[in-house]
Amino acid sequence: MSEAAAADLSANCVTMFLKDPQPPEPGKGAVWMYGQDHFPAAEHWIESWLVTGEHTMMPGTPAGAEKIIHVGPDGHKGGPYPKYHHNADNLMIFTGTDPENPRDLGATVEFHLGEGESEQVFVFDEPRCIVIPRGVRHFPMIVTQFRRPFTITDILTAPTRTLAGTETDFTYETPA
């Protein structure tokens, strides 16, 4: 028997943090979060949720509007604005839920990666993984042509958002 097999694994079925805003955010289900805040040996921060309809994620606010700031359970200040992770890479995995057609995402997604002249806009309706290198701004994300729920799994290569160096771009304004 290996040393790992002989270890006490009773702590390895981890209760995750549930972000379940009430009323629910349009088009987005509750978010399950896991990381070092929940399991001391965690090496990654992971969020997972179900997309339930058309919506825009991290759209910013119009010029001149009051900024919206949310404080997470870990003290992270966020809001509906693009993000940077200065100390970690980020993977966002988009998967469909139709067992008869696994190549159909269930909607069309427009995902913004980068900023200024280097910004890339990806449009897809099949499962994808967006690889976000550390230090690169990402979002907004726009979901259109919604047909059925799909999942997003967001993985940071750091155990907490704080260690990932997550920064919210509060200067971002919704394009006119």
Q: Specify the higher pLDDT residue, 175 or 95.
A: 95
pTM over 0.85: yes
CATH architecture of 28-168: Sandwich (2.60)
By the 8 A CB rule, do 140 and 84 touch?
no
Per-residue pLDDT, 153? 98
Q: Structure tokens of 141?
A: 């994300």
Q: Which residue has the tokens 């799909």?
A: 150
Q: Would you call 127 exposed, middle or buried from its count of C-beta atoms within 10 A (0-12, 13-18, 19+)?
A: middle
The overall average pLDDT reported for the chain is 91
Q: Alpha-carbon Rg of the chain, whole angstroms?
A: 17
Q: Which residues 6+ apart lie within 8 Å of 55 measured at CB? A: 25, 26, 27, 28, 142, 143
pLDDT at 6: 66
Kind plus residue range of the DSSP H or E element containing 4: helix 3-6
Tell whether the model's pLDDT for residue 159 goes beyond 90: yes
